[in-house]
Structure 1
Amino acid sequence: MSESLHTEHAASHGSVKSYMIGFLLSVVLTVIPFWLVMAHVLPKGLTLVTIFLFAIVQVLVHLKYFLHLDFSTDGRWNTLSFIFTMLVIVMLVGLSIWIIFSANALMM
């Protein structure tokens, strides 16, 4: 009975060290853009580009350290399914916006 409660998962889970690295990187990648906005260090356009770049890096940090998506033998299928899902979502949203703008242009 007790053996059925303990199941082994094929996916690798992170260690405390990897979670701490991910957490610290997430905090740093949040604090720096916040400081750039509050201190008005850079011009507005450059600040927006910097925030966008930090956001992309932060998404990658979350994918690696918290969702454990990588191309190792254990996580390859999870990563490929995630990429396929993102591709479908980007196509769905992008094509919907294209259709809406085309319909708006034709109605004018």
Structure 2
Amino acid sequence: MSAHTENLHPGHDHHDHHDDGEAAYHATTRGYVTGFILSVILTAIPFWVVMGKVFSDSTTTALVVLGFAAVQIVVHMIYFLHMNTRVEGGWTMLSLIFTVVIVVITLAGSLWVMYHLNTNMMPMMHDMQSM
């Protein structure tokens, strides 16, 4: 490099440049505290819903707890795993979406198979009486 170029950027190592197109995420104590407080709230509310028997229907209770769990997963991904659409050119978010699709397909397929096995393989009451 020429002396002229060195004088324009003194003290910079030219081999250590970062891609200016990528937004770097810098974690802060405030972000971690916010994530922690949200996590505690999103844990305490479902605990209260279950222990206080707020809903008489167990299906409603399960759906509320699952809803809070989904929100808590998003809170953890944003505040603790620092995932957003800007990090690594969006590849982190793309891999997350792919993972979620695969998990949903796997869970839905497993539930479908178990339901149909239970329906078609279990003996009926009239079958049990004839044995």
TM-score (structure 1 length as normaliser): 0.71
Relative to structure 1, the CA distance from residue 77 to residue 50 in structure 2 (aligned partners, 3 Å threshold; closer, same or farther) is: same
Residue in 1 that maps onto 2:15: none
Return the index of the structure with the highest Cα Rg.
Answer: 2
- Tell me the distance in 2 between the aligned counterparts of 1:12 and 1:20: 16
The runs of at least 4 aligned residues of structure 1 exceeding 4 Å deviation read 99-108
In the alignment, is the contact (CA less than 8 A) between 1:12 and 1:74 conserved in 2? no
In the alignment, is the contact (CA less than 8 A) between 2:46 and 2:64 conserved in 1? yes
- How many residue pairs end up in the alignment? 103
In the alignment, is the contact (CA less than 8 A) between 1:22 and 1:65 conserved in 2? yes
Deviations 1:20-79 (A, max 9, x none): 101100000101111122222332343222212211111111111111121225462101
* 2:48 paired with 1:23: no
Residue in 1 that maps onto 2:51: 38
- Tell me the distance in 1 between the aligned counterparts of 2:62 and 2:91: 35
Q: Which runs of 5+ in 1 are unaligned?
A: 1-7
Deviations 1:66-97 (A, max 9, x none): 11121225462101111112212322333344
Indicate the structure whose relative CO is greater, using CA pairs within 8 Å and at least 6 residues apart: 1
Q: Percent identity?
A: 41
- Tell me the distance in 2 between the aligned counterparts of 1:52 and 1:80: 24
- Tell me the distance in 2 between the aligned counterparts of 1:41 and 1:98: 30
- Tell me the distance in 2 between the aligned counterparts of 1:74 and 1:32: 34
TM-score (structure 2 length as normaliser): 0.60
- Tell me the distance in 2 between the aligned counterparts of 1:62 and 1:80: 17
- Tell me the distance in 2 between the aligned counterparts of 1:50 and 1:103: 28
Amino acid in the other structure paired with 1:54: F
